[in-house]
Amino acid sequence: KNQVEQSPQSLIILEGKNCTLQCNYTVSPFSNLRWYKQDTGRGPVSLTIMTFSENTKSNGRYTATLDADTKQSSLHITASQLSDSASYICVGPRGNNRLAFGKGNQVVVIP
């Protein structure tokens, strides 16, 4: 069972609109949760990394939230731009020096 589940799998949004991506994780013990942005054919770029004590973290137009009780995280994109079209991946350490990757939220921003 994948320890990181993301939804929706894909979405299309109009330029300038906001959207929210969801991540449910079951990795244990929890140490941190990360969001990465990956453009097609490129390596993932870190957006945020959140520890147990943090429930909100922003990076420009990206804001991540974390609810450690429900083991849910969200990534909110404000005033989307065409360059936001990418896959957004939720990632958490899962022990044995390995990472658990979600399958990603594929976002397409249209003019």
Partner 1 sequence: DTEVTQTPKHLVMGMTNKKSLKCEQHMGHRAMYWYKQKAKKPPELMFVYSYEKLSINESVPSRFSPECPNSSLLNLHLHALQPEDSALYLCASSQDRVDTEAFFGQGTRLTVV
Q: Please give the residue ranges that form the binding site for partner 1 (CB under 8 A).
A: 31-32, 34, 36, 41-46, 49, 89, 93, 96-99, 101-104, 106
Residue placing its CB nearer to partner 1 in the complex, 27 or 77: 27
Q: How far apart are CA 46 and CA 44, in angstroms?
A: 7
Query: Angle CA(69)–CA(73)–CA(75) in degrees, nearest 5?
Result: 155
Min. distance of Cβ 94 from partner 1 in angstroms? 9
Min. distance of Cβ 93 from partner 1 in angstroms? 4
Min. distance of Cβ 68 from partner 1 in angstroms? 15
Quick check: 56 and 63 in contact, CB under 8 A?
yes
Min. distance of Cβ 82 from partner 1 in angstroms? 20
Q: What phi and psi, each to the nearest 5 degrees, are found at residue 70?
A: -90, -5
Residue placing its CB nearer to partner 1 in the complex, 34 or 71: 34
Q: Could you tell me which of 54, 38, 13 has the C-alpha nearest to residue 102?
A: 38
